[in-house]
Amino acid sequence: MGKDDLRINVVGDVDEASSFLGLVRAEADEEIGRLVIELQRLLYRLMGDVAMPKEDNVVGEEDLKFLDDALEEWRDRTEMPKEFVIPGESSPGALLDVARTVTRRAERSLVAAGYAAEHPYAVRVVNRLSDLLFVLARNADGGETLSKG
C-alpha cells in the first residue's frame, strides 16, 4: 500500500483519535481511564482491519454492542444539554471533544476510502464511538454550560 492510498489516511486519522484519547486517559479518573483504554484498543483493532484488507475483519458486532452499552450507561448518568454546546467548559471535556471531532474525521475518511462497503461495522463503530465521546465530554463538564450557543 502506497503512502497516497486512502487507507493510509484512514489509519492516520484513527491513530490521531487514539492519541487524543491517550491525552484524555492521562487526565482522567480511574473509571474513565479504564473505558478509554478499551476504546483505544478498539481503534487499534480497527487500524489493523484497514491496513490488512485481505484479512478477515476483527472489529464487529461485539464491538458495536460494547459501545452501545457504554453509551446507554453514560447517557443515564449524564445531564445532556438542550442547547448547542461550545467545547471548553472543562479540560477533560475539551480533550474528549477534540477526540470526538478527530473520530468524526476518521469516520469520513473511512467512507471516502470505500471501506464502509467492505466492512459493515467499521463506520457504525466509529460513529457510535463519537457519540459516546460527546456524552463523556458532557459528563466531564459536569453540567456546566457557561458557553451555551
Q: Which fold has domain 6-141?
A: Hypothetical Protein Ta1238; Chain: A; (1.20.1200)
State the pLDDT at residue 1.
64
State the pLDDT at residue 17.
97
pTM of the model: 0.92
State the pLDDT at residue 144.
52
State the pLDDT at residue 109.
94
Regions of the chain where pLDDT drops below 50: 148-149
Query: What are the contacts of 38-43 at 24+ separation with CB within 8 A?
Result: 38/66, 39/129, 39/132, 42/66, 42/67, 42/125, 42/129, 43/14, 43/15, 43/17, 43/18, 43/129
